[in-house]
Structure 1
Amino acid sequence: RVGVCDCDIYGPSISLMFGSREQPMATEENHILPIEQYGLKLMSMGFLLDDSSPAILRGPMVTRYTQQFLRQVEWGELDVLVLDLPPGTGDIQLTIVQTVALDGAIIVTTPQEVALIDARKAATMFEKVNVAVLGVVENMSYFVSPSDQQRYNIFGSGGGEREAKRLRVPLLGQIPIDIATREAGDRGMPIAAENPNSIVGAEFNRIASELLAKLKG
């Protein structure tokens, strides 16, 4: 039983990537009912706005929406609630650590140094508020050419592994640049659901299983 809360208020993407344009309903108690898709409970600003409508919000309003997603959504009984955060260490991140008790944080980065700078800041923020970093996931880790199966490290190599060693946490996985994964996301069909036996689908499922085991202790 898993819920996913898209906490990127300014740039929500979960509604597109999970293929739903439904608008959430409200209960008589004024609680928001999450959208259910692929066996997951979902909440995102993308369900409240159309694709061309920007979220033009100052900090206090961003804080309010973030708190509503955490406190007023009728999540029900869940084993895991995943909070998908935007990059940075701003209002959204601070609101979350002040509103709920987190079991841990996962640092997602690409291999190049310019991305690792932000990843380090995020890791430091979580350490300062006593939230354990569970591990590092390296996204866009490499690209395998369909024509000759040659592997190309477009954004460099080893960045995620070095950061994991610096933090003394595991490198949970390396997600390659993959055309099928991008196409599936654009169609609103997560690759782990559409093709769980693909390289990327299998890696996502392995990472999820490892994290669940870690959280259960």
Structure 2
Amino acid sequence: MTAEKPVRRIVAIGSGKGGVGKSTLSANIAIALAQRGVKVGLVDADIYGPSQPLLMRAADVRATATDKKLNPVPTPYGVPMLSMGQMVDQGRAIAWRGPMVGGALGQLIDADWGDTELLILDLPPGTGDVQLSMISKHKPVGAVIVSTPQDLALIDATRAIDLFAQASVPLIGLVENMAGYICPHCGERSDPFGHGGAETAAASLGVPFLGRIPLDIAIRTASDAGTPPVAIGGPGSAAFRMIGDRIAAWLNR
């Protein structure tokens, strides 16, 4: 008697614009959930600009396939992952049209994930072909939207929220990233991108606010080194874990 195939759920991490730290959040949330005992995998759905191989210290590992199914790549953090960055040479442009991108995304999601029960899907910015293909073919159980506190980012985040709402994908909540900077020399706090904008927007839209991540150069340097803060107990790890706990609570409700 064969074992039953696990019911695999997808949580999409999206944003209306680039540069808001969505990939960093996705990596840390995946690790935080794995530390809680969740069998989680990570899909880098940013076909044109994959960054998860670097964040998860798997940039030098190529993806393989068995019986026309991709095999997820192991990472040092207990989170298997797949990304186009593990199938093309680093720095090579992926000049594909929409149908090819949708097909590639399908292969990443339909890979041989084994007993993985949850996929964290790191989406590219915007509301285009990749998002539409993912929602129609691989409907997520929920979505998390990432924004910085500034008004311009919040306008685009609102569009991303509306996309998921139109597709009847529940909103798990909104995360405010780059929220406040503490000077490492004098300890003074400043808010170069504003403060509290995402929390205010979440309240006005009736969307749960999941938390905020500080603007900290140590988060950036750890991420660039392939050591996500949650994995090493680094800066911001408590904030990432709190958000991971709230996502887990939503999934277990």
Q: TM-score, normalising length from structure 1? A: 0.95
- The counterpart of 2:80, out of the listed 41, 49, 59, is 41
Give the number of equivalent residue pairs: 213
- The counterpart of 1:204, out of the listed 206, 219, 240, is 240
SS of aligned partner of 2:65 = coil
Q: Deviations over 1:148-178 (max 9, x none)?
A: 1111111111211122112212211111111
For residues 216 and 57 of structure 1, what CA distance do their matches in structure 2 show? 38
For residues 8 and 188 of structure 1, what CA distance do their matches in structure 2 show? 18
The aligned residue for residue 136 of structure 2 is 98
Q: CA deviation at 1:42?
A: 0.5
For residues 188 and 130 of structure 1, what CA distance do their matches in structure 2 show? 35
For residues 167 and 51 of structure 1, what CA distance do their matches in structure 2 show? 40
Superposition pairs of residues 1-217 of structure 1, within 5 angstroms: 1-20=39-58, 21-27=60-66, 29-37=67-75, 38-71=77-110, 73-195=111-233, 198=235, 200-217=236-253
Matched AA of 2:164 = F
For residues 163 and 87 of structure 1, what CA distance do their matches in structure 2 show? 19
Q: Is the 8 A contact 1:7 1:84 kept in 2?
A: yes
For residues 94 and 50 of structure 2, what CA distance do their matches in structure 1 show? 9
For residues 180 and 103 of structure 1, what CA distance do their matches in structure 2 show? 32
Q: CA deviation at 1:182?
A: 0.8
Higher relative contact order (CA 8 A, sep 6+): 2
Runs of at least 4 residues off by over 3 Å: none
Q: Is the 8 A contact 1:87 1:118 kept in 2?
A: no
Q: CA deviation at 1:70?
A: 1.5
Matched AA of 2:89 = D
Q: TM-score, normalising length from structure 2? A: 0.82
For residues 45 and 123 of structure 1, what CA distance do their matches in structure 2 show? 26
Q: Is the 8 A contact 2:69 2:107 kept in 1?
A: no
For residues 93 and 53 of structure 2, what CA distance do their matches in structure 1 show? 14
Q: Is the 8 A contact 1:2 1:81 kept in 2?
A: yes
Q: CA deviation at 1:187?
A: 0.9
Matched AA of 1:45 = M
Unaligned stretches of 5+ in structure 1?
none
